Structure 1
Amino acid sequence: MGKKNNKDRVILVRCSEWEIRQINELSRKNHQTRSAYVRNCALHGTAREQPVEIMDALRDLDYLNRKIGNNINQIVKASHARGFVMKEDTDALSRLLTRLDKSYEKVYRKLVRKRHGNHKAAASERA
């Protein structure tokens, strides 16, 4: 079961039209919702930017997961209607699964590089 989102409290903040436009723009640039952006700035003093490459890869993963789910539903429906699964269906699913694996690997490599980069930076700061 997924983690429950317990963000059920609201804080009202008065802003000028210009400030709202700035907050909206900065939250978009940081690939965050306005709420997450303001929360991160208030609690951490920064927006905690995510690298664009990681956000793009995660969006691609989400897209591929949805496509796979759609294909699986089509395959199940076809197999029930015809009593068998067509080769084109399984080939399409296989291609999407391969793309998904490559995307997961891409995200993993970027996260590992980022983590190792952060450790190197922290070590050089301690020296």
Structure 2
Amino acid sequence: MAKNRYRDKEVKFFCTADELNRIDQKAAIAELDRSKYLRKMALEGYIIKRDFSSVEELVYEINKIGNNINQIARRANEVEYVTKDEIRYLKKQLEGIYSQIEKFYDEG
């Protein structure tokens, strides 16, 4: 490598032919050559990483409510009635789910 270059450090990485093609397409859209595009993305680009742990918790809670609804429906089919307490319990659980959904969207 020439010693009088401004950028005298070489960086290498491996990619597939498809990945290289996508990089070249994006570089062309940005009207940059591959080297300039990759340098700009490495130095100024960003990666968005979302934390979906709250979604996993929400799915878990929804599954629990689904199980409870199935149990109450089974009971209603067996004895042909559901108590007000059972309905209140389900409403309280649904309110908890709604608040978790709102929290997720507020954080997002």
Could you tell me which of 86, 89, 104 is aligned with 1:92?
A: 89
Match of 2:29 in 1: none
Classify the secondary structure of the residue corresponding to 1:93: helix
Q: Distance in 1 between matches of 2:103 and 2:79?
A: 38
Q: Distance in 2 between matches of 1:62 and 1:92?
A: 19
Could you tell me which of 55, 68, 83 is aligned with 1:71?
A: 68
Relative to its length, the structure with more helix (as a share) is 1
Please, what TM-score do these two structures have when normalized by structure 1? 0.46
Q: Distance in 1 between matches of 2:89 and 2:53?
A: 23
How far did residue 88 of structure 1 move?
Answer: 2.6
Per-residue deviation, residues 65-97 of structure 1 (Å, max 9, x unmatched): 101110110111010111100223212211110
CA contact (8 A) 1:71 1:89 kept: no
Match of 1:50 in 2: 50
In our comparison, the structure showing a higher alpha carbon Rg is: 2
Per-residue deviation, residues 21-64 of structure 1 (Å, max 9, x unmatched): xxxxxxxxxxxxxxxxxxxxx7898874213xxx2321221011
Number of residue-to-residue matches in the alignment: 67
- Structure 1, gaps ≥5 residues long: 1-41, 112-127
Please, what TM-score do these two structures have when normalized by structure 2? 0.53
Could you tell me which of 97, 103, 106 is aligned with 1:106?
A: 103
**What is the RMSD of the two structures over their aligned residues, measured on CA atoms?**
2.5
Q: Distance in 2 between matches of 1:77 and 1:96?
A: 19
